[in-house]
Structure 1
Amino acid sequence: MNDKFEKLEEMFTLQARLNDDTNGPKWRQGVTKQGKVINWKRCIVMESAELIDSFSWKHWKNIAGGIDLENIRIEMVDIWHFVMSYALRFHTPEEAAKLALAAMKESAVKLPESWSEEEDARIETLLEPFENLMALALVKSESREYLEELLEGFWECVDAVGMDFDGLYRLYIGKNALNQFRQMHGYKEGTYTKVWNGREDNVVMQEILAKNPDITYKTLLESLEERYAAVR
């Protein structure tokens, strides 16, 4: 079995489970357990906008500010949560994984690891993959062909930011585990502590991943539990 397919299916399965736990049984019908309307494509638009704000695109300030590449990659994982959730409205994890695998595509645009005046001059070109993804998410369509195009646009962005598939997988597993952990410890109720001894939980999660890149989902949850117990 293709390793990428297995990891894709795992990610889609984890996302479906997270949506079940956080939104209730009707999320595939577009509503939460409280009856709140869910719009996954709007989520993609808003997260894409946050990603774009990691560029110094504003002509009125931070003209030569460069980019926050680390945050851009984290935003890509946040976008992936919503792309997967949208695909899962219409497909099983297995079906969605097959579509995602077939849609993998490289980007003609590559973000630089370091910034210079030359990059300032071509920032409009560098923003193209992310603005294209945002534009796709605004299209009023639910066809299979549309989903395939949305997935292609996502993979182009992943390639543009210099993430390989395993890097996306590893960071997604980390973010999913953290999201699940938050829900288990009162995030929606407002009782969860997000800052652990002066550091955000997201930073702690990334430190755990950095020390053990091959960590399993279960072990990561256990590690988060240990760290969180020391905060309370």
Structure 2
Amino acid sequence: MQEQVEVMLAMQDDMNTRVNNDWRRQDFAWYRAIWIECAELLDHYGWKWWKKQTPDIEQVRLELIDIWHFGLSLLLQSDQSPAALARHIDETLVVATDEPDFRLDLEAFAARTLAERRFDVAGFGRLMAGIDLSFDMLYTGYVGKNVLNFFRQDHGYQEGTYKKQWGDREDNEHLVDIVQGLDGAAATFKDDLYAALKARYQGVC
């Protein structure tokens, strides 16, 4: 697991550098991005008692992976080396929870994020357990979303020309479909995914 975490930390640094070459000194509010994502995640999970709602677990998992991106960014802004951060995550990330209500774990995680402005790795592990997201699934999903983020940047995301809606679905939903048809363990996974995203984007936009 530690080796995979180091890979993800390196990928996150590459993505952040792509957006802003001096990102570490910009003091971006990563904690704010985390709790906003928590609210978006809860909408996919469902919380409205006045209407019937069924959790969209695939979208909940995608939102949790987005939180992981921001959490890694927050950790990378510390003075610790990537190797030290990977060890910390390896020791702290336990995929288990004793809370049967996922929403309560989510609210506790969001509250700690706001109060302490840090990434609660242990709390994140509880959220993973609450939606049956294994570490291997997190890793594959993270790599997939990282590739999508690069794809967005390559196709005008910062300039405002990128189309997030592909036909009648968002790019995140297309990503889920494409990843399911690829071998996440393959050495060419990143390249295969990028090529598949490009082909579908050009075909529907």
* 1: CA distance, partners of 2:21 / 2:194: 22
Q: Secondary structure of the residue that 1:155 maps to in structure 2?
A: helix
Quote the sequence identity (%): 34
Q: Secondary structure of the residue that 1:157 maps to in structure 2?
A: helix
After the TM superposition, which residues 66-215 of structure 1 pair with which residues of structure 2 at under 5 Å, given as runs?
66-90=54-78, 91-105=80-94, 106-110=96-100, 125-140=101-116, 150-214=120-184, 215=186
Task: Please say which structure displays the higher CA radius of gyration.
Answer: 1
**Aligned-pair CA distance for 1:189:** 0.6
* Cα distance change on mapping 1:206 and 1:132 into 2, 3 Å: same
Q: Which one-letter code corresponds to 1:130 in the other structure?
A: L
After superposition, give the CA deviation of every residue in 1:77-105 in whole Å (9 maximum; x if it has no partner).
11111111100101333222111111122
After superposition, give the CA deviation of every residue in 1:119-153 in whole Å (9 maximum; x if it has no partner).
xxxxxx331211111011012466xxxx5xx1111
After superposition, give the CA deviation of every residue in 1:133-183 in whole Å (9 maximum; x if it has no partner).
1011012466xxxx5xx1111111111111111111111111110011100
**Aligned-pair CA distance for 1:51:** 1.4
Matched, 1:30 2:26: yes
User: Where does structure 1 lack aligned partners over 5 or more consecutive residues?
Assistant: 32-37, 111-124
> Residue in 2 aligned with 1:49?
39
**Aligned-pair CA distance for 1:56:** 3.4
TM-score of the superposed pair, with normalisation by structure 1: 0.78
* 2: CA distance, partners of 1:199 / 1:173: 21
* Cα distance change on mapping 1:50 and 1:195 into 2, 3 Å: closer
Q: Is the 8 A contact 1:108 1:160 kept in 2?
A: no
Q: Which one-letter code corresponds to 2:173 in the other structure?
A: V
**Aligned-pair CA distance for 1:231:** 4.3
After superposition, give the CA deviation of every residue in 1:43-73 in whole Å (9 maximum; x if it has no partner).
11111111122343234x31x4242222211
User: Where does structure 2 lack aligned partners over 5 or more consecutive residues?
Assistant: none
Q: Is the 8 A contact 1:12 1:88 kept in 2?
A: yes
* Bigger helix share: 2
What's the Cα RMSD here?
Answer: 2.0
* Count of residue correspondences: 200
After superposition, give the CA deviation of every residue in 1:169-208 in whole Å (9 maximum; x if it has no partner).
1111111100111001101111112233444322222222
Q: Which one-letter code corresponds to 1:95 in the other structure?
A: A
Q: Secondary structure of the residue that 1:187 maps to in structure 2?
A: coil
TM-score of the superposed pair, with normalisation by structure 2: 0.88
